[in-house]
Structures are given as C-alpha cells and as structure tokens.
Amino acid sequence: MKKIFLIAVIFFLLPAFVFGQETNKKKVIYFYAETCTHCKLVNDYFQSNNIYDKYDIQKIEASDSKNIEYLNKFFDAFNVPAEKRGYPVIFFADKMISGDQPIIDNFTIEIDRADASQFPTPKSIASITNNNIAPVDQRENSIGSMKLALLISAALADAMNPCALAVLILLLSTVVAAKGRNSALLSGLSFSLAVFISYFLMGLGAYRAITAFSLPRYMSLGVGIFAILVGLANLKDFFWYGKYFIMEVPLSWRPKMQEILRKVSNPIGAFGAGFVVSLFLVPCASGPYLSILGLLATKVDSARTMSLLFLYNLVFVLPMIIITFAMYFGSRMGRIEQWRKDNLKLLHLITGAVMLFVGGYLIYTWI
C-alpha cells in the first residue's frame, strides 16, 4: 500500500512539477523570416546553445502582412524610426534587441536581467514610461561608429600598398612616353575605375558568400587572427624586408604584369588592364579587404553594407587618382616611383599597425 500510495503521489505531482517548470521559463517574442540569412545566424546560435529549451520563445514569421503589422506595433511602442526597422528582432519585458550580432552578443545577458515572466505586447510596452533599451541600442551604435573608423583605416592602409602604387606608376610612365599627358590622364582614371569596379565586385561576391552560407560568429575570431597574421607579416617587411617572403606581388608574377602594362597605350586598354592587374594584386592587397569583409558580414542592413563597401573601394583607389592628377599637372613619375621605393618599409609599417588594430578589435568583439 505504501508503494502504491507513493506512486500515486508521484503520478499526480509530476505533471504539476513539469508544467510548473515550463511556466517559469522567461518569455520572448522573436520575429524572423525564413529567407533571412541573418535570422538563420540567430537560429543556429539558439540551437547550438539550447536557447529554445531554456526560454519560452514565440517565433513569428515576419514576412506575412499581418505579422508585419503586428511587428510595427512593437516598433511603434519603442519609438523606432522606419529606417531602423527590420528583423531578426527580439522583444521581452521592456527590452528590444535587433540584428543578428546584437542578439547573439546580448540576448543571454539581457534576458537574465529581465523579469520576462509574461509575453510582451505593444500595449504593455507602451504603458512603460521609461523604456530601458538604451544600453543595447547605444552599444550597437558605438560598434557601428568603430566599424566605420576601422573600415576607413584599413582602406587607407590598403591604398598605400607599395605594389598597387608601383603598378599605376608603371602604367602612367608607359602611356606618357607613348601618347603624352592628356592620354595618360584618361588612362590613369580608366585604370583606377577598373580596379574600383573589380574590387567592389570581388568584395560583393565574398560578402554574399559569407552571408549565404550563414557562417557562424566564430568567423570574427578567424578573421581577427588572419588580420593579425597579415599585420605581423607586414611588420616583418618593415624590419626584415625581402627575407623569406614579401607582402607584395610575387616576384614570379611581376614580369607578366609588366608585360601587360607596357602594351597599354590608350584609356580603353588601361581599363582592360585594370581588371587583369587587379587579380595580380590580390595576394598583396587582400589582407585588409578580407578583414573588413568579415566585419561587414555582421551588418543587418544590406543597403548600408553596400554603401560601406563602396566607400572602402573609393578610399582604396584614391591614391591612384591623386597620382594620376599629380602626373597631369607636372609631377614626374620617376620622382614618385623613387619616393615609393624610399618609403617601402614605412608603408609596410603603417599597414601592419592598422591590421594589428583591426585584428585585435575583431577578437575583442568575439570575446
């Protein structure tokens, strides 16, 4: 009888215990879209960290028109401007976290601080007069500002790459000798435009590949380590230039590249040469670019990412444009080339220092 009584007690108490534990889970509303690669990043993170088991998460597919209307009511409650609305986004208690990386970085910290005993509604949020969402939003804004500063710094370091400047100087010297300064001006600008288009398209393709395959946030660690290695390799060229290897176009490639450039005699040829030569420049000029692409891959707003990619490549070709106009207004290519040779180590030092900073930042944000 005692055993039967014990079994009966367990039988009646077990459901209450189980369901009681379920109701104690903190409640979250998660808006996502099946076609959103950033949402997949969040979903992969939640699954790998058992987030769906730890919390009561109500998933709402945001691409449905009724659900979009419901989502906008949440955004209205938090006074989010239209240009900053999107998904993935999570709401709980009086908190809102938007974007894949902010959710991955902040969700467990913020949910553990919140009450979140009930699912939030736009009405319950609007009734709170002091929405405490500043820490999450401010952190994201500060990271965005830092990303812009890192992007410009890396682009400038990439732009000062010795091999990229050497290629343009050789091209301009060839065209000036054959056709004069007017033709060289157009050729230099055409070459710069071709390099800009080529690198923009390569960067766009790499960015699409990163987001399409939904690579995990550990990529930030990998790219950070890669950036540090590139930085150390450039510092090696500052202290021991030419030893073991150099962070420039491989010596075996240079004769072929010079052969291509010496055949250029007009702007159309310079434009075509720009596309071909940009492939030769990849080994020496891809370090900063790949690191920044890893950084941009965490952006939620694809349109803004494209504009940042445009800005990076514009800064990258800026020295080419400046040298082209300097040639047109009287500067001799021989003097510019001599300056480049005299400052080879300094240029590697600057690139190395910038890449160490970029790599350190990427690892810091991962940690």
Average pLDDT over residues 159-168: 72
As a whole-number percent, the residues of the chain with pLDDT over 90 amount to: 4
Q: What token pair was written down for 1?
A: 């009888």
What pLDDT sits at residue 28?
92
Across 236-240, 259-263, 331-335, the highest mean pLDDT is recorded for 236-240
Q: Which long-range contacts (CB under 8 A, 24 or more apart) does 95-102 make?
A: 95/132, 95/133, 95/136, 96/133, 96/136, 97/136, 98/140, 98/300, 99/38, 99/140, 99/300, 100/38, 100/39, 100/41, 100/42, 100/298, 100/300, 101/41, 101/217, 101/298, 101/300, 102/136, 102/139, 102/140
Name the pTM for this structure.
0.58
Residue-averaged pLDDT of the chain = 76
What is the pLDDT averaged over residues 320-339? 80
Mean pLDDT check: name the lowest of 74-88, 141-155, 192-206, 211-225: 211-225
308, HSE (Cβ side, Cα atoms, 13 Å): 27
Is residue 254 over pLDDT 90? Answer: no
Give the model's pLDDT for residue 29. 92
Residue 218 is predicted with a pLDDT of: 58
pLDDT (average), residues 124-132: 60
Give tens-digit pLDDT for 221-232.
Answer: 777 787 888 888
342 pLDDT tier (thresholds 50, 70, 90): confident
Dist. CA 277–CA 140, nearest whole Å: 38
Q: Which domains does the chain have, with CATH numbers?
A: 21-132 (3.40.30.10), 140-366 (no CATH)
Q: Is the pLDDT of residue 260 over 60?
A: yes
- The CA angle 29-33-38, to the nearest 5 degrees, is 95
Average pLDDT over residues 311-333: 84
Is 213 or 104 the better-scoring residue by pLDDT?
Answer: 104
How many other CB atoms sit within 10 Å of the CB of residue 204?
Answer: 16
pLDDT band at 283 (very low <50, low <70, confident <90, very high): low
Contact 216/104 with Cβ under 8 angstroms? Answer: no
For residues 72 and 96, give the distance between their C-alpha atoms in angstroms, rounded to a whole number.
13
- % residues pLDDT > 70 (the chain): 75
Sort strands 27-32 and 56-61 into parallel, antiparallel or unpaired.
parallel
- Please give the residue that has the higher pLDDT: either 315 or 298: 315
Average pLDDT over residues 145-165: 75
Residue 307 is predicted with a pLDDT of 82
| Mean pLDDT, residues 341-364 taken together | 80
DSSP one-letter string for 196-249: HHHHHHHHHHHHHHHHHTT--THHHHHHHHHHHHHHHHHHHHHHSTTSS--SSS
CA gap 216, 114 in Å, rounded: 27
Residue 109 pLDDT greater than 50, yes or no: yes
Which CA distances in Å does 353 have to 72, 175, 288, 362?
45, 35, 11, 15
Average pLDDT over residues 140-167: 70
pLDDT of residue 144: 54
